[in-house]
Each structure stands twice: as C-alpha cells, then as structure tokens.
A and B are shown apart, each in its own frame.
Chain A
Amino acid sequence: MTCAKAAVVLLSLLPALTLAEMQALDDSTLSEMSGQGGVYLSGEFSINKNGGVLWETPTTNNPAQWTANQRSCALAGATSPESCGMRVAVRSGANAGWYVLDNLKGIFSFEGLTLDTRTLTSASGEREVLALGLPNEIRFKGGNFSFGVASQGGWKNKALSAANGGDPSYQQTNIFSAKIDGSIRMQGSVLVFPTN
C-alpha cells in the first residue's frame, strides 16, 4: 500500500511539473487551428525492371523450349525474349475465369506531387477539401502492362506437358497491352472530400 501511495504522489506531481511547458487547448482555441503547409513528394518507382522472382528469362521465344520455371513476355513475333513483370489475377465469380493484369513493369518518376488541405466555398457552405496537386510531369521508362482474361490465376506454360511443369489446358487471352516511354504532362489538382 505504501508503494501505491508513493506512486500516486509521484503521478500527481507530474502534471504540476509539466504545466509550465504545455497547456491543454480548450474547444474554442482548437477550432481556430487549421492544418498549415502540406506535403511535397518526389519519387521514382521501379517495378520488376529486371524481371520478377517467379520466372527466369529463357534464351528463346519458343514456349516449347522453356523449362518449368522459365517465361518470356516478349510480343508475338519478337526476335529476342524479354523478362516478365508483376502479375495480378482477380476472379470475378466462383468457377469462373480470371481477370489478369500481367507483365506490369517499368520505371516511373515524378517530382512535385503535393498534398494539402484547402477551404472552399460552395452553394452548401464552406468545405474543407484534401487537394492532391498533380506533378507537372510524370516520366516513364519502359512502363508496360497487359490486360487479359485467363482460365487460371497463375500462369502456366501450355506448350509443355504436365509432366514437364506445363498445363496444356491453360488459356490466356490478352485483350491489350500498353507500353509507355517518355513524359506525360499533368497539371492541376484533384480535390477529394467526403459526400453523403
């Protein structure tokens, strides 16, 4: 009990000691505060630039000559093989096929993505909004992705037999793929706010 008493005394002393440095804000003072400044972001992202961990890059574009852990994502008719990017597969129904975002890779960089808050006036009164300032320029280097549908979430080599690690029944239909190099100019900001 003495120990507890000592602790209580110590606890009651602490606020008195710190009182000189910090004071509690009452509701009215707090309501006058507003978030000042903001955040300025620059960055460079590189996704699977040299291929991922799932597949090794083969030496040929002929799927029948790949080993079980090899895959090339070069385009139809290309002369040299290419490493593969990230793969994301989503199944939209039970016993259905998969939507696939495949071969996502490349480098993209931006400078001056800003994040701050603004107060704007609308017909329904004042409103605090989050402003996402777009960077003036987004630069891409070898940016790539494919969108398609597939019979399985994971990629399988349909040119190889099951005994060799393939799956002849696997089907993937790429709807389109896109490749981006260079810079895209993006100005302005996106204002985000809750609605009801």
Chain B
Amino acid sequence: MNRYLLLAAVLPATMAGAMEPLSDAELSDVQGAGLGFVLDQVLLDGSGAQIVINDITDGQGRNVPISVKNLYLGAAGSNKGTNLSPVTIGSLDHPFELELAKGEELRTLRDDGQWVQTTPNNITVLSFKFPERLVAGGNPCIDGYAAAGSNCSTGSSGRADLGVRFDFQVAAGRTEMLALDFHQLVMDGSYLRLWGDPGQNGNGELVGEARINLFAKTLEVMSCAQVNCNTAGETAAQRGARTLYITNGYANIALGYGKSQPLRLRSSADGQFVLELQNPTASGTTAAQRQALASDFYANAPRTNLVFENLTVGGTRSSPTAIPTGGYNFGRNEISGLSFNYLKVTSYDLR
C-alpha cells in the first residue's frame, strides 16, 4: 500500500513544471477572446456560374428571376473585373474579427473622432467587425480625397474592386439590367453586433446594431434601356449615356443605437418580416428620463452620411479615376448627420 501512496505523491511533483494555478489578478485579465481573419491574396470570380435569385414576384404573383452575372472581387485596377488579380484584405494587426464581448467593452468611432460605447452594459454581444478605423496613423480612406478621412487601417494595397450585374427578366423575352462596379472599395469600421434583449413585450428577442461603411474611389451604375439589353456593337458613348458615375463617394450607414434604439430585425408571429428602429425615448417613464435618453441619443448615436463628391449621369471617363466629361454633371451631393427617430418596415403577403 505504501508504494501506491509514494507513486501518488511523486505525480504532482513532476506535473508542477507544466501547470500552475492562476491568481485572481491574473484570472481577471483573461477575456473571452475572439477570432481574427485575414483574407490573404483572395480573388473571387463568379463568371463561370449561373446564379439566379428567385421568389421575388411581380404584381400578378409571377416569379421575376434575377440572374447574377459578372460577380467579382479582386485587387484595385481590375478594369471592372476583366483583369482580376488577388487582393489581401485585413492585416494581422487590423483583421476582420468575430468575438463575444461585453457591452461595456465595445466602442464605436463617432464622427468627431471620439470612441464611444453604444451597446448597453451587462450584456454579451456577438460582434463581427471589419478592419478597424484608427484615431492616429491611418491611411486615406479614398486615395487623393482627404474629405473622406485618413483614418482607415487598410492601406492602398488592400483596396478592392467589387462588382456584380443583375439581369431582371421582367417578362418573357424582355430583360433589364443593372450593373454595379466599385473601384478601390474599402469597408473599414463596418460592423454587425447581435445580442438578446427583453423586447418591447417582454418576450425576449434578438436585437442588434449595424454599421456599413463604404469608401469608393468610383462607383458606376449602368442600366440597360435597349430591347433585350443588346449590348453588342454599341459604342462607349452609347454605354456612357446609360451610366451613372460617382467619383470619390462614401457612405456611413448606421442602423441602431444599442443603448436606446437597438435594431429589431424579427419575424412576426404571423410569419411576416419586420425591421424596426424604436423611438429612443420609449423606455423613459418621466419627462426627465426621456430628456436624458434624448440627449444621449443625439450626442452619441452614430449618424448616417452619404457623400458623393461628384455625380455625373452620362459621359465618359478619360481614366478609371477621372471625373467624367460630357453628360450631366450634378456636382457634389451630400446627406450628412442623418439619424432615424423611428423606422418600421413590415412585409405583407399580397396573395
């Protein structure tokens, strides 16, 4: 029996070198860490696939198939996907990130360059975010356009070309087309955060916050006005006449402010889709509480901005980044500081 005791006494001594208990102080530094992702030298080309989006119906309940053509993602300079080369998006220091974090830990960059907390306390948030925007030492978000800010962590080599073309078969034998081509696209600072909330009726539901940042040197939207979209044999001028050109454009789209106006994206009990941004003062019961909620909302809730430095319809570009000549030049267009006080979108079944 003594030998067994001896063996048992020896075991902990030999293990001691490998494992040590953590003190309370050390343990308190341990956080639920996340996973970082970097898209290393990626290229996506969907031109060899037939992708069709269905279940979108017209007024008579007939399916309107949308064919997805020319889907691509590659390095900037692809000439609308014709010359694709790989691009690296994100870096080890500023990756895409998927994490479970406390509401107190997440920060949002306010338009004045301050980091603010927008998520409520004492909740666990599932967060997916793009490479971060920085307060110091960043790169220009749009090359050669300082007004878009110079706080993007993505450098010039991380800017991507992204495009897709949708062919809508509106009726038998008639197709309409919409083509989108982003050049030098950066999406730094975009995020999606999801958490559970008691809900307006106390039943508990999934709520969230989303921010979509798009910085693009150019965006071209081409539509099709010809019969069957017959693009064979058309000239650059004819194609240009059907194109909307945006040069130096950026959008910061903010949906939801976790503390008082979370984005409610749900399916209703009768099987309809609902998207709702509640009145931020709805949870206040006294005038003073509502005042405090409103002050916090106007001071800290992220705003939606849409800025097009140049918007031209028609005409042609002399180089991939030049402002087009010819056509109708609408100059600078801007919507800034937009916030939603209330928004509710519900689907209805017409059949």
B92 and A189 contacting across the interface, CB-CB below 8 Å? no
Counting residue pairs across A and B whose Cβ atoms lie within 8 Å, the total is 185
**With A176-B54, A195-B95 in contact, do A182 and B48 touch (Cβ < 8 Å)?**
yes
B54 and A189 contacting across the interface, CB-CB below 8 Å? no
> Count the B residues whose beta carbon is within 8 Å of the partner chain — how many?
58
Q: How far is the CA of A76 from the CA of B350 in the complex (A)?
A: 14
Q: How far is the CA of A183 from the CA of B51 in the complex (A)?
A: 10
Q: Is B39 an interface residue (CB 8 A)?
A: yes
B48 and A178 contacting across the interface, CB-CB below 8 Å? no
Q: Return B266 CB to nearest CB of chain A, in Å.
A: 6
Q: Is B226 an interface residue (CB 8 A)?
A: no
Q: How far is the CA of A133 from the CA of B231 in the complex (A)?
A: 38
Interface of chain A: mostly helix, strand, loop or mixed: strand
**With A92-B266, A95-B269 in contact, do A123 and B93 touch (Cβ < 8 Å)?**
yes
Cross-chain contact of A97 among B1, B35, B86, B268 (Cβ < 8 A) = B268
Q: How far is the CA of A64 from the CA of B270 in the complex (A)?
A: 21
A190 and B269 contacting across the interface, CB-CB below 8 Å? no
A195 and B40 contacting across the interface, CB-CB below 8 Å? no
B57 CB contacts on chain A under 8 angstroms = 76
A75 and B54 contacting across the interface, CB-CB below 8 Å? yes
A188 and B41 contacting across the interface, CB-CB below 8 Å? yes
Cross-chain contact of A122 among B44, B52, B56, B92 (Cβ < 8 A) = B92
- Against A, the Cβ 8 Å flags (1 = close, 0 = not) of B29-54 are 00101111111111111111111111
Cross-chain contact of A179 among B33, B52, B203, B205 (Cβ < 8 A) = B52
B54 and A195 contacting across the interface, CB-CB below 8 Å? no
Q: How far is the CA of A95 from the CA of B268 in the complex (A)?
A: 9
Q: Which residue of B lies closest to A170 (CB)?
A: B271
Question: Can you give 20 contacting A-B residue pairs, CB < 8 Å?
Answer: A4-B1, A75-B54, A76-B55, A92-B206, A93-B199, A95-B201, A96-B267, A97-B268, A97-B270, A97-B272, A127-B92, A151-B271, A152-B271, A170-B271, A172-B271, A173-B347, A184-B45, A191-B92, A193-B36, A194-B36
In the A-B complex, list the 4 residue pairs whose CB atoms are closest, starting with the nearest.
A93-B205, A171-B271, A188-B42, A97-B267
Question: Contacts A93-B206, A176-B53 given; 15 further ones with Cβ under 8 A?
Answer: A27-B17, A75-B55, A76-B61, A76-B62, A96-B203, A97-B271, A99-B267, A151-B269, A175-B55, A175-B273, A188-B88, A191-B37, A192-B35, A195-B34, A195-B36
Chain A residues close to B by CB (< 8 Å): 4, 8, 27, 75-78, 92-99, 120, 122-124, 127, 129, 131, 134, 137, 140, 146, 148-152, 170-196
